[in-house]
Amino acid sequence: MKTSLPLSALLLLLVSSIAPAADQLILAGQLLDVQSGELKSNQAILVADQRIVNILPVRQLSAEQRAIPTLDLSGYTVLPGLIDMHVHLTSNPQQHGFRRLNTTPARQAIFGVTAAEVTLQAGFTTVRNVGARGFADVDLRDAIEEGEVPGPRMRVAGHSICITGGHCDNNLLPHTYASTSFGVANSPDEVRTRVRENMKYGANLIKFTATGGVLSRNTDVNASQFSLAEMQALVAEAHDRGAKVAAHAHGLHGMLRAIEAGVDSIEHASFLNDEVLAMAAERGTFLVMDIYVSDYILSEGEAAGILPESLAKERQVGQLQRENFRRAVAAGVNMAYGTDAGVYTHGQNGRQFAYMVEWGMTPLQAIQSATLHAATLLDWRNEQGQLNVGQLQPGAYADLVAVEGNPLENIRLLEAIPVVVKGGKQVN
What pLDDT does 60 receive? Answer: 96
pLDDT at 172: 74
For residue 7, count other CB atoms closer than 10 A to its CB. 8
3-state secondary structure of 403: strand
Q: Are 277 and 294 in contact (CB under 8 A)?
A: no
Cα separation, 154 vs 136, whole angstroms: 12
Using 70 as the pLDDT threshold, list the residues of the chain that sit under it.
1-19
pLDDT of residue 13: 47
pLDDT tens digits, residue range 178-189? Answer: 778 889 999 999
Which of 411, 303, 293, 309 shows the shortest CA–CA distance to 345? Answer: 293
Angle at 181 between CA 191 and CA 95, to 5 degrees: 135
What is the structure's pLDDT at 357?
A: 98
Q: Kind and range of the H or E element at 400?
A: strand 400-403
What pLDDT does 5 receive? Answer: 54
CA 417, chain centre distance (Å): 18
pLDDT for 30-86, tens place per residue? 999 999 999 999 999 999 999 999 999 999 999 999 999 999 999 999 999 999 999
**Closest CA relative to residue 149, chosen from 107, 106, 114, 105:** 114
Rounded to whole angstroms, the Cα distance separating 395 from 297 reads: 40
How does strand 425-426 pair with strand 419-422?
Answer: antiparallel
Q: What is the pLDDT of residue 4?
A: 52
